[in-house]
């Protein structure tokens, strides 16, 4: 499946993209158009963020610009430059679904989108805007406006339970997180024999998609076949993830279409919505409720911190009082920490940027990696720096944007009344009414999966 492509008519061969590709999947001569080696590409979209070769209305004229825009399926309300490296857009499918009265549209948006989306409307880097985003979704015409932060909390319930099972019952350790599809694909491509170390949990996007077409359909009294599930992500690899053959455990495709944060901005403009005039609105309940733990999924170390906040309770039966887990925060390479949980010392690690994974995998193969649980994020600072986020045209803005988005995320977590996933009242209700228990029979069927090399199919 093609998700990322480089337009040969536009590429100038500056090779900036080859420098940022964490999978070394871009090849070509200097000053000649570059090309992507699809077998190696993890679809993270860092090349899309970095690319500086473009065509514009001003420099290249309306005809060439319109032709390229139409070929990419981008609405004609878009007038910004079109870059050589780009992700394949599915915005047309969403517009068609919104106009189809037989479809019941449900939308979810990842934690990292709400700290970046406003940048595409001229606001300062890292502006937090969950309320305006929810309002925009309603104005666009989605039937239900839900939230990936809810299923980030759900992922923690499943992942923490899975980790405790592996640690106490002699399962495969270390367990790696599985919510970053670029990382999952990299491991499948390079070392399929190690995929047994991946958590069997689907990502929050896919979990919520499966819940949309089961519990969500029942809540809204509609046939699951009518549900059209849209997710808005900071990530281009999520487009690949939603199309994986494993991702249909409800009997339907979990997520029908993924849009990037950039494409959501296009969609808002397409429907003529004035961002500055939007008032804050809430997400729909119950699948729009979230805690601080769900929010911090968007930053590197955040999944680990959220997992520790709940895992501690699962292991000890007590509540963790000091919940800011500072040792796992940061933005560099491979960080390690030890967390005391009752009689157990939980040894954890965080890999930031896929370029830093090889040393960790080599230690694992050599038998010298003493760790229970490792979070891996492909992008430079996790999802806030994803390939689908608003494009940063000046390199000087990049570090500031990442920092501001990270700080916005942490600030939002700090201000929320509930900051642990197991405290989310609507997560409790979901288990009581539908799933029964974490890692139970129902949740295994809907919320877990398998990967190439781990006894499953691709």
Residues noted as catalytic: 159, 162, 179, 199, 238, 241, 246, 383
Q: C-alpha distances in angstroms, 111 versus 246, 271, 352, 398? A: 24, 23, 18, 19
Closest CA to 357 of 183, 202, 237, 185: 183
**DSSP 3-state assignment of 442?**
helix
Q: Which residues contact 214 (CB under 8 A, 6 or more apart)?
A: 224, 250, 434, 446
Dig out the tokens for 300 from the structure: 């590197």
Asked if residues 3 and 200 have their Cβ atoms less than 8 Å apart, the reply is: no
The rounded distance, in Å, linking the Cα atoms of 149 and 139 is 21
Q: C-alpha distances in angstroms, 315 versus 114, 308, 349, 350? A: 32, 10, 18, 21
The rounded distance, in Å, linking the Cα atoms of 372 and 39 is 30
Dig out the tokens for 281 from the structure: 């609105």
CA–chain centroid gap for 1, Å, is 18
Asked if residues 147 and 8 have their Cβ atoms less than 8 Å apart, the reply is: no
Residues in the chain, total: 458
Closest CA to 152 of 310, 373, 357: 310
Buried b or exposed e, range 278-297, using 16+ CB within 10 angstroms: beebebbebbbbbbbbbbbb
Q: What is the DSSP letter of 380?
A: B
Buried b or exposed e, range 176-196, using 16+ CB within 10 angstroms: bbbbbbbbbbbbbbeeeebbb
Query: Facing residues of 130 across strands?
Result: none
Asked if residues 150 and 427 have their Cβ atoms less than 8 Å apart, the reply is: yes
């Amino acid at each position: 499946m093609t998700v990322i492509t480089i337009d040969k008519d536009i590429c100038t061969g500056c090779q900036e993209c080859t420098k940022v590709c964490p999978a070394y999947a871009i090849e070509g001569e200097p000053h000649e158009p570059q090309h992507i080696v699809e077998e190696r590409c993890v679809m993270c979209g860092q090349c899309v963020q970095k690319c500086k070769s473009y065509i514009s209305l001003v420099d290249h004229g309306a005809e060439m610009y319109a032709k390229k825009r139409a070929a990419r399926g981008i609405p004609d309300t878009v007038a910004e430059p079109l870059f050589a490296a780009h992700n394949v857009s599915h915005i047309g499918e969403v517009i068609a679904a919104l106009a189809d009265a037989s479809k019941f549209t449900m939308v979810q948006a990842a934690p990292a989108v709400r700290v970046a989306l406003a940048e595409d409307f001229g606001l300062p880097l890292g502006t937090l805007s969950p309320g305006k985003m929810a309002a925009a979704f309603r104005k666009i015409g989605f039937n239900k406006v839900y939230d990936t932060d809810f299923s980030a909390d759900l992922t923690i319930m499943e992942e923490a339970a899975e980790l405790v099972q592996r640690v106490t019952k002699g399962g495969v350790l270390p367990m790696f997180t599985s919510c970053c599809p670029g990382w999952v694909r990299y491991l499948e491509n390079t070392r399929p024999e190690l995929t047994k170390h991946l958590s069997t949990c689907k990502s929050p996007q896919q979990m919520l998609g499966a819940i949309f077409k089961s519990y969500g359909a029942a809540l809204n009294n509609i046939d699951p076949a009518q549900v059209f599930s849209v997710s808005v992500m900071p990530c281009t690899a999520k487009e690949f993830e939603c199309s994986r053959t494993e991702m249909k455990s409800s009997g339907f495709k979990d997520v029908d279409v993924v849009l990037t944060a950039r494409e959501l901005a296009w969609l808002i403009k397409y429907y003529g919505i004035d961002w500055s005039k939007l008032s804050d609105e809430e997400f729909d309940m119950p699948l729009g409720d979230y805690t601080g733990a769900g929010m911090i999924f968007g930053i590197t170390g955040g999944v680990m911190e959220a997992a520790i906040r709940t895992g501690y309770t699962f292991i000890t039966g007590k509540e963790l009082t000091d919940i800011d887990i500072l040792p796992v925060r940061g933005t560099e390479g491979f960080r390690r920490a030890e967390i005391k949980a009752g009689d157990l010392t939980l040894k954890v690690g965080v890999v930031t940027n896929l370029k830093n994974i090889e040393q960790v995998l080599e230690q694992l193969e050599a038998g010298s990696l003493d760790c229970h649980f490792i979070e891996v994020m492909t992008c430079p600072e996790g999802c806030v720096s994803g390939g689908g986020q608003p494009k940063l045209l000046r390199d000087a803005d990049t570090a500031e944007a990442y920092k501001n988005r990270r700080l916005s995320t942490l600030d939002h977590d700090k201000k929320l009344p509930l900051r642990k996933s197991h405290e989310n009242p609507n997560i409790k209700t979901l288990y009581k009414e539908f799933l029964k228990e974490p890692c139970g029979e129902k949740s295994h069927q809907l919320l877990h999966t398998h990967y190439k090399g781990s006894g499953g199919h691709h």
